[in-house]
Amino acid sequence: MDAFTDNFEKLPFDLEAEQSVLGALLVDSSCMPTVLEYLNADSFYKEQHRELFSLMLSMFSAGETMDFITVLGRVRSEHIFESDEQAKLYLTQLVQIVPTTKNVDEYAKLVRERYYIRRLITVSGNIRREADEGLDAKDLLDHAEQQIYEIRQGKDSTGLVHIADVIIGTYDDLQRVAKESHNGLLGLSSGFSDLDRTTNGLNKSDLIILAARPGVGKTSLALNIASHVGERSGKAVAIFSLEMSKEQLVLRMLSSAAKIPNTQLRIGQLEDSQWTDLAEASGTLSSSSIYIDDTSSINIADMRAKLRRVENLGLVIVDYLQLMTSAKRFENRTTEVSAITRDLKILAKDLGVPVMVLSQLSRSSEKNPKPMLSDLRESGSIEQDADIVLMLYREGENGEQAQGQQNEAGASYVVNCDVAKNRHGETRTLQFHWDGQYTKFSTLGYLRDE
């Protein structure tokens, strides 16, 4: 082995574990799915090991026979080693060194452990170098957290990824989706069947814009969705409220869950049966993984730092876009909002969860029978960055859009939900029933197909 183990840099690695993983794959190619749960090519320290694993992964993905002879032939054609004799010798030693293929997951864990430590050492060096270059402390902290987060998530931004690795990951995702039933939906259920059928649920990495004029009910709809996801999906929901306090949000959620009029709940004048209903609703909401942050001046960097600490995150809700600010300076507000929406899309992608952002519509939208994408206030690139855009509006007696106004206590009426943009399917208009006394929406069906 000495010919192949010289000149290693002083970084932690486990040569025997790497050799045992590769040897197990040569002995039994069916070990590959187990190995892929822990490792990719970059997880190996030795260059020949990275190349050998990539080659074997390519063969496995293509459905080719993978054993000592076939791999040796490919290794020779790829010139991974200096000579054909060295290739044959090293592969023979790999087969001989593996104690048993039954423990391949333990060998893979050892390789991954050393890989994580090497990545941490590299990231620490990057952070030190950026600090020496005078990077702003807040930006430095955010960048450091991002790099540590990527290590924890098994992500590596060092280079291009071969399509074979992506195919394997896609198969894993499809198998996981098949096992995790969401009523036939790819994403999480919103609790509104017609909306779910149109968007295929709340999908990972999606930026969802929920827009309306003030008083139409966008916050209430978002809270209805948050309650459903938090109670039914087993996932955590994070709500960032820049306008309302956490107590106000919880009162609305309790009103919907306990079916106690919101005005009555706020003054605490409840009958005995209502106290019982309230206690039951409180217990249900308390057992769900819903987290609320009512910091009024929060930016994307702060959100990212807080969200990384939430385990089993499933959905993020931000109420609302026009109250957000950026840590950077921009020449005008439209440019700033555009930068914020781009960062929100990046946040959804990095976290792998849907991010629902509430947004105001411009006053000019009230002149139209229904709002348009161009009516998004300070729109900029909002409609471009969003995967789904939902627009709530009410119709007046003549079919015109009703003026934005605060929902009256106890009011009950129909609210249209226009799916104005949908990367997962068609656009159409849905109808919801709004029950003002309980701040609760329910689905009515499709208004019309478009």
Residues marked active site are found at 243
Other beta carbons within 10 angstroms of residue 411's beta carbon come to: 11
User: Using alpha carbons only, what angle is made at residue 319 by residues 313 and 320, rounded to the nearest 5 degrees?
Assistant: 130
**Taking the alpha carbons of 268, 274, 276, 280 in that order, is the dihedral positive or negative?**
negative
Backbone angles phi, psi at 416, to 5 degrees: -85, 145
Of 195, 206, 214, the closest CA to residue 377 belongs to 214
Sequence-distant (6+) residues with CB within 8 A of 84 are: 76
User: What does the alpha-carbon distance between residue 327 and residue 338 come to, in Å, rounded to a whole number?
Assistant: 14
Half-sphere exposure of 365 (CA within 13 A, CB side): 27
Q: What is the largest CA-CA distance in the chain?
A: 88
Q: How far is CA 398 from the centre of its chain?
A: 42
Q: Would you call 70 exposed, middle or buried from its count of C-beta atoms within 10 A (0-12, 13-18, 19+)?
A: middle
Q: DSSP assignment, residue 179?
A: H
3-state helix, strand, coil in the chain (%, to 5): 50, 15, 30
User: What does the alpha-carbon distance between residue 333 and residue 323 come to, in Å, rounded to a whole number?
Assistant: 11
Q: Say if residues 182 and 188 touch (Cβ distance below 8 Å).
A: yes
User: What does the alpha-carbon distance between residue 181 and residue 83 come to, in Å, rounded to a whole number?
Assistant: 52
Q: How far is CA 424 from the centre of its chain?
A: 16
User: What does the alpha-carbon distance between residue 73 and residue 47 come to, in Å, rounded to a whole number?
Assistant: 19
User: What does the alpha-carbon distance between residue 334 and residue 379 come to, in Å, rounded to a whole number?
Assistant: 7
Of 363, 377, 394, the closest CA to residue 333 belongs to 377
User: What does the alpha-carbon distance between residue 112 and residue 46 come to, in Å, rounded to a whole number?
Assistant: 13
Q: DSSP assignment, residue 395?
A: B
